[in-house]
Structure 1
Amino acid sequence: MALRPIVSGNDINGLDDPDPHPPRLVYWAPDPDQIPHGEMQRWFYTVQPDAPALLAERAARQAILEAPLPEVAAEQVTRAPEDWTELLDGFVEAGLCEKTGVAEMQAEWCYEGRSVPQSRVIMLGVRHDYARLRQAPEVEAGAEVIRQYGRAAHAAKQVANWLRQEGWAAEPVTGPMTGDFTLIPPALACGFGELGAIA
């Protein structure tokens, strides 16, 4: 707790503030030096950094993150909403994720100083292996979390690849690092409910 900053995440994001403002980064910043909780975030990566299970899962996830996206096709395919939904459900049927949903993008979901040009956000849900998570704080629990972040990243990139080939400028959002918008509001908007951590 020595690395915990004086300011809390609630203060950063204006809990009970009468003047609402866009969300601000609290944790998982791409550049930890830009947030008050940066030292805590850096400490996280010092815990068992050489554990083989963690290294293997991080390497697998990194390969997914580095895979290139295709160019956006010149011709934009249009379909009825229910047809898009049926095709999106194919990613669940293929085992890439356990749940999908779509919400209209809202500007207030964007972090301060950021924006998203797309009109829709597609949410993907992946299920963790509870038996592995129950082993926390053992390495296998951490490896399971990284494994599922990797699965989520792979699914997000596959959906983005598909949409880009259909002529839509889709961008995959992968965790754990924070992107341009907070993920819980669109997950709620598309009917996921409150499932825990969302990537």
Structure 2
Amino acid sequence: MSQPTHPRRPRRGTWKPKPETTALLRVSGNPINGLGETAARRPSPFFWHSPDQHPWGDLQIVARQSSRSCPGSTEAFQAAYNYPELQPVAPVRNPRTAEELSQQVSRFALSHEADDIGIARMDPLYVFEGYTVEHPWVIILALAHDYERLREVPSDETNGVGVCDVGDQYARGTRSSYALANWIRSQGYHADPYPGPSAGALLLIPPAIAAGLGELGKHGSMISPRFGSGVRLAGVSTDMPLVPTEPRRFGADEFCATCQICTHACPPGAITPQKQMVRGVERWYVDFDKCIPFFAEAASCGICIAECPWTRPSVRPKLLQTMAQRTGQK
């Protein structure tokens, strides 16, 4: 359950952003994100893209400064931006079948820091406007949080444990995605990595869900059946022939329909109790204009994913069993 006496977590409805933070919001992010739109379209560049692509560059600076003021966080996030050069594509291709190559990709990824892996066919709707991804396949890597560290969020100048774990998982995502991209290139195929925390060409949550790594949660993040909401993602696009992994329904969506834990735990009240139409899809949506000011001031926050019942290792197996029985899933 939520911890209302947590020293770094204001009660819902009691928190107000600083005037200088509100001033930097400038325009609403909800229309840019496609809230209320009934037709499908590619997403617009958004928060964490280059500041020349959206209106919140100064707010990104505040968010970065807030997180970097926490002990150890500068080093943790710096590691996410340290990556090797991409190697030239080998002239001779691995002749294995798509099934065999998929197995090799999985084995390599899981032995190079990834905790889970999924494969999906590329969809233009996974690519931000103004960007191109030519490859027909996308591999998504999941990096699990340390639950005991994650539950310390949000961080501040006195406690950086939670945000440091966020940085550590992004750094693992960088290392694992670059390692996999270079391995694929060594097999004679093209490949490009897409790690966080900065945004690039590729959305990560939609292909992760398509690849069977989880379901979208009410808090706007993916819920993994293995790690709950405590997971970060990285991607690799490639022209290597692969076999897609299947989407998986395990009851998270149904559970979110009645669970209110993250809704009540969110200090700015950004998590809505019902799904909304976003770029032609009815789905869970978090109010950008309420979320981001708190996110910026609270060192990247993370309360909703830490409080999610699916994230608790002692609770998740019971939830899987209960929802399997309720939804008729095996």
- Which amino acid letter does the alignment assign opposite residue 114 of structure 1? Y
Measure, in 1, the Cα distance between the counterparts of 2:214 and 2:79. 29
- 5 Å-filtered alignment, 1:22-171, equals 22-29=42-49, 31-47=50-66, 49=68, 51-63=70-82, 65=83, 67-91=84-108, 93-94=110-111, 96-138=113-155, 139-171=160-192
Measure, in 2, the Cα distance between the counterparts of 1:24 and 1:121. 20
- Which amino acid letter does the alignment assign opposite residue 145 of structure 1? V
Deviations 1:9-33 (A, max 9, x none): x31122222343310122111x224
* TM-superposed deviation, 1:70: 1.1
More strand by share: 2
Measure, in 2, the Cα distance between the counterparts of 1:81 and 1:125. 22
Deviations 1:91-139 (A, max 9, x none): 3542511101111111121111211111100000010011111111231
- Which amino acid letter does the alignment assign opposite residue 129 of structure 1? D
* TM-superposed deviation, 1:191: 0.6
Ranges in structure 1 where 5+ consecutive residues have no aligned partner: none
1:15 aligns with 2:35: yes
Quick check: 2:93–2:189 contact (8 Å CA) kept in 1? yes
Measure, in 2, the Cα distance between the counterparts of 1:26 and 1:93. 30
Deviations 1:133-156 (A, max 9, x none): 111123111111000000011110
Would the alpha carbon gap of residues 151 and 48 (structure 1) be closer, same or farther in structure 2, given more than 3 Å must change? closer
Measure, in 2, the Cα distance between the counterparts of 1:17 and 1:70. 41
Would the alpha carbon gap of residues 95 and 21 (structure 1) be closer, same or farther in structure 2, given more than 3 Å must change? closer
Measure, in 1, the Cα distance between the counterparts of 2:118 and 2:68. 35
Quick check: 1:14–1:20 contact (8 Å CA) kept in 2? no
Measure, in 2, the Cα distance between the counterparts of 1:62 and 1:108. 26
Ranges in structure 2 where 5+ consecutive residues have no aligned partner: 1-16, 216-222, 224-228, 235-330
Measure, in 2, the Cα distance between the counterparts of 1:140 and 1:178. 23
- Which amino acid letter does the alignment assign opposite residue 27 of structure 1? F
Alignment partner of 1:198 out of 227, 230, 233: 233
* TM-superposed deviation, 1:51: 4.5
1:183 aligns with 2:200: no
Identity among equivalent pairs (%) = 32
Quick check: 2:194–2:202 contact (8 Å CA) kept in 1? no
- Which amino acid letter does the alignment assign opposite residue 165 of structure 1? S
SS at match of 1:162: helix
Measure, in 2, the Cα distance between the counterparts of 1:118 and 1:178. 18
TM-score relative to the length of structure 2: 0.55
SS at match of 2:192: coil
SS at match of 1:172: strand
Question: How well do the aligned residues superpose, as a CA RMSD in angstroms?
Answer: 1.9
Alignment partner of 2:193 out of 169, 172, 187: 172
Measure, in 2, the Cα distance between the counterparts of 1:189 and 1:106. 10
* TM-superposed deviation, 1:62: 2.8
- Which amino acid letter does the alignment assign opposite residue 233 of structure 2? I
Would the alpha carbon gap of residues 6 and 60 (structure 1) be closer, same or farther in structure 2, given more than 3 Å must change? closer
Tell me how many residue pairs correspond in the alignment: 195
TM-score relative to the length of structure 1: 0.89
